[in-house]
Amino acid sequence: MQHTISVIVENDFGVLSRVATLFSGRGFNIDSLTVAPTNEEGLSRMTIVTRGDDQILEQINKQLNKLIDVLKVLDFTDGSAIERELALIKVAAEDDARAEVLRVVDIFRAKIIDVTPKSYTIEATGNPLKIDGILELLRPLGLKEVVRTGAVAIGRGAKGWNG
C-alpha cells in the first residue's frame, strides 16, 4: 500500500543522502520525495511517498527514527493528512485541441501560465490523485513535458507536528 511519511530532520550536511542511502540500502521504495526548510530554524521537512506491507512500513518508520538527524517521523495513515502536489504540464495545443485543453484546465481549476501558438503550459495543484486525473485527460492531446513536485502533506486539525 502507498504511504505518505513526513520526516522532520536536522538541516545537517548529508541528511538527504542518509535518508536516500537508507531507502536504497534496505530495498525500500521511494515513489516521491520532497524536501525544504520549515518555519523552525535549522529544521527541514521531507515528505516521502513509499510502498510496502505493514511489516516493511514499520521497519521504514523505525529505521528513519533511528537516524541521528531525524527528529520526528509522521506516518499519515489514510485520512489523517491533507496532501497536495504541484504539477507543471506542457501540452500540445493546436486547432480544436486548444479549446479542449482550456476545458480540462477549467474543470480541474488549473491555470495556464504560458501560451504559444502550438502549446499551453499549465499549473495544476491538488491531491496527487487529482494530478493523475488531469494528466489522464491531457495525455491523448499530446503531453510534451511534465514536472511534478511530489506530494507534500500536513496533518489535519489545529495541532502542529510538535503540538
Partner 1 sequence: MKMNGARIMLECLKKEGVDTIFGYPGGTVINLYDALFDFKEIHHILPRHEQAGTHAADGYARATGRVGVVIATSGPGATNTVTGIATAYMDSIPMVIITGQVPTPLIGNDAFQEVDIIGITRPCTKHSFLIRDVKDIALTMKKAFYIARSGRPGPVLVDFPKDIQIAQSEFDYPETVEIRGYKPNLSGHPRQVEKAVAMILESHRPVMYVGGGTVLSDSAEPLTELARTLTLPVTTTLMGLGSFPESDELSLGMLGMHGSYCANMAMSNSDLIIAVGARFDDRVTGKLSTFAPHAKIIHIDVDPTSIKKNVPVDLPIVGDVKDVLLKMIKQTDKNKEKLAGFVAALTPWHSDITAWKEKHPLGYKQSSTIIKPQFVIQKLRELSDDDAIISTDVGQHQMWTAQFFQFNKPRTLLTSGGLGTMGYGLPAAMGAQAAFPNRQIISICGDGGVQMNIQEMATLVQNRLPVKIVILNNNFLGMVRQWQELFFDKRYSSTCMELPIDYIKLADAYGAKGFLATKPGDVESVIKQGFEEKGPVIMEFMVAREEKVLPMVPAGASLNEMVLNA
CB of 8 to partner 1, least distance (A): 9
Out of 1, 2, 37, 65, the only residue in the binding site for partner 1 (CB under 8 A) is 65
Q: How far apart are CA 160 and CA 155, in angstroms?
A: 8
* Interaction of residue 160 with partner 1, rule CB under 8 A: no
Q: Which stretch binds partner 1 (CB under 8 A): 18-26, 28-36, 99-107, 153-161?
A: 18-26
> Please, what's the b/e burial string for 101-119 (b: 16 or more CB within 10 A of its CB; e: otherwise)?
beebbeebebeeeeeeeeb
Interface residue with partner 1 among 1, 2, 37, 62 (CB under 8 A) is 62
Regarding 13 and contact with partner 1 (CB under 8 A), the answer is: yes
CA distance linking residue 163 with residue 160, whole number of Å: 5
Angstrom CA distances, 119 to 73, 108, 124, 156, stand at 42, 18, 16, 38
Give the Å distances, CA to CA, from 30 to 15, 76, 107. 16, 15, 30
Cβ closer to partner 1: 53 or 95?
A: 53
What are the C-alpha distances in Å from 83 to residues 59, 94, 139? 23, 33, 23
Q: Is residue 162 close enough to count as binding partner 1 by CB under 8 A?
A: no
Question: By C-beta, is 9 or 101 nearer to partner 1?
Answer: 9
> Are 47 and 5 contacting, i.e. CB atoms less than 8 angstroms apart?
yes
53 versus 96: smaller Cβ distance to partner 1:
53
37 binds partner 1 (CB under 8 A): no
Q: Is 68 in the site for partner 1 (CB under 8 A)?
A: yes
- Interface residues with partner 1 (CB under 8 A) are 9-10, 13-14, 17-18, 21, 25, 55, 58-59, 62-63, 65-71
